Amino acid sequence: MNTPAGPQLIAYADRLGGTFRGLRELLDGPFAGAFDGVHVLPYYRPFDGVDAGFDPEDHTVVDPRLGTWEDVRALSADRVVMSDVIVNHASSRSAQFRDVQERGAASPWAPMFLTLTSVFPEGATEADLARIYRPRPGLPFTAMTLGGEQRLVWTTFAPEQVDIDLRSEEAWEYLGSVIDTLVGAGVTMLRLDAVGYTGKEAGTDCFMTASTRAHTDRILALARARGATVLLEVHGHYQQQIEIARTVDYVYDFALPPLVLHALHARDLLPLRRWLELRPTNALTVLDTHDGIGIIDVGPSALRPGEPGLLAEEQIDALVEAIHEASGGTSRAATGAAAANLDLYQVNCTFYDALGRDDRRYLLARLIQLMVPGIPQVYYVGLLAAGNDMDLLDRTGVGRDVNRHYFSAAGVERELRRAVVQVQLAALRVRATQPAFRGEFAAELDGHRGRLVWTGRDDDGATAVVRLDFDVSDATFAFVATSAGERRVVVSSADLPSAGQPVVARSGR
């Protein structure tokens, strides 16, 4: 089993702290001791494009409104820093693509960008086009003028995000410069964004193909040669995550969030029990991220015809409806055809609202996450237990913005006074420091009761144990840590007489 590492925070610098320095002040101040690392979401120039930084005009420049590469180095001096390598596409406003728009095939960067004929030089049939897998409605092409000629440019996600051709050395020159810049600033974990779409091949669905594996292996070699590890970001059938995990440093456990939600809404732990028996341990666990709550990761998928999911279709339908009901319908207004930036496999909702802002169930969900093997990542909106930001959704029309709140300094200070936030931080500090998490993991789950246990030894050789006993039928739980002969109840549902009331963190070292 891989030795689990400490928790990481996921945050936009501009939305939490305002700048790199502000984010660092939070990590060194009120968040101190809770996080061993931080995944800073795209901070390149500009960080506020059409896709919240995932469409940078220059992937090798820190947006000066957020800071400099020296600020990134300062942040990485005493913690792990993860940054995104946007592998599948570059901005349509990048210098490279603007040159292609002006000069067409005469541009030295022309081979770097994909058009329809790049993959289908003899033309594509209706069957070819219908087979292409895309997370959003419609075909992944945008008509553009390149050097005076109308072309169909490959744009998997949005017209402003032009797919790059990793069969070209120009693309590798570009990606190599990005990786060198990041590692040179002290970044030691690289998150490969949308890497599953990089291997376009005629005669396939253009997702997670043999070419994707070859491209990933090449990036892995580049990263490891520079002392960095790689996390793959792939949504798909759960069997794909198991297979991918054998070939890379880390994958996301995207199945965990919907399975925890199913357990708490349906009062049913059996699908989660099955996943704990199957899942890879070289995983980053999450409840929420900057994207929506993934559904495809636990269901049957066209990507694996005939293979069942971890949840049956009727269970998934019930889960989605339970989320919408728990959120008072706000998630329904932010998901699917109701909002722009569509993702066919995600529900746009904060995790706190997905559980009806019930502090007890929410804290139980977080504790389950922290006990599951892997590296726990906690999204800043989830850490501060925020509800859906409908004002931001109204302003932008982008569904995922309900879960991308901007916190002012005063707003962070206010949220930090809430017990649900204080208890999360207390539990994260246990996860970051308890020697039990260097030991062995065991799980006992029946229909609605569960026990998760880590057993190890402290530096003096004494037994260290962290245990979570819980019942999803009534959201009762006890989170207990024992080390150096001292037993401490970190938090218990006994501190919460009835659901909906604030949890009180117990004092202790």
CA distance 157 to 159: 7
> What's the pLDDT score for residue 502?
45
- Strand partners for 444: 451
CA distance 238 to 195: 17
> What's the pLDDT score for residue 3?
41
pLDDT digits (tens, 9 = 90+) for 311-348: 999 999 999 999 999 999 999 999 876 554 445 578 99
CA distance 24 to 474: 38
User: pLDDT grade, residue 501 (50/70/90)?
Assistant: very low
Which tops the pLDDT comparison, 211 or 301?
Answer: 211
> What's the pLDDT score for residue 509?
27
Checking if the pLDDT of 14 tops 50, the result is: yes
pLDDT digits (tens, 9 = 90+) for 136-182: 788 999 999 999 999 999 999 999 999 999 999 999 999 999 999 99
pLDDT digits (tens, 9 = 90+) for 262-282: 999 999 999 999 999 999 999
Which tops the pLDDT comparison, 7 or 295?
Answer: 7
The residue whose two tokens read 């906690």 is 378
CA distance 10 to 296: 22
Checking if the pLDDT of 310 tops 60, the result is: yes
Please classify residue 461 by burial: count the beta carbons closer than 10 Å to its beta carbon, then call 0-12 exposed, 13-18 middle and 19+ buried: exposed
> What's the pLDDT score for residue 305?
86
> What's the pLDDT score for residue 4?
45
Residues with catalytic annotation? Answer: 193, 233
pLDDT digits (tens, 9 = 90+) for 92-126: 999 999 999 999 999 999 999 999 999 999 999 99
- Long-range Cβ pairs for the range 366-369 (8 Å, 24+): 366/287, 366/424, 366/427, 367/427, 367/468, 367/470, 367/477, 367/479, 367/491, 368/260, 368/263, 368/450, 368/452, 368/468, 368/470, 369/256, 369/260, 369/285, 369/286, 369/287
pTM: 0.93
Q: Name the H helices within 39-168.
A: 69-76, 95-103, 116-119, 126-131
Checking if the pLDDT of 250 tops 80, the result is: yes
| 18: CB partners within 8 A, 6+ apart | 409
What does the block give as tokens for 129?
């086009």
Nearest 5°: phi and psi at 124?
Answer: -115, 140
> What's the pLDDT score for residue 136?
78
> What's the pLDDT score for residue 337?
63
> What's the pLDDT score for residue 260?
98
Could you give the percent of the chain with pLDDT greater than 90?
86
CA separation (Å) from 244 to 132, 156, 219, 280, 293?
21, 22, 14, 9, 21
> What's the pLDDT score for residue 505?
42
Could you give the percent of the chain with pLDDT greater than 70?
95
User: pLDDT grade, residue 503 (50/70/90)?
Assistant: very low
- Mean pLDDT score across all residues of the chain: 93
Checking if the pLDDT of 77 tops 70, the result is: yes
pLDDT digits (tens, 9 = 90+) for 201-233: 999 999 999 999 999 999 999 999 999 999 999
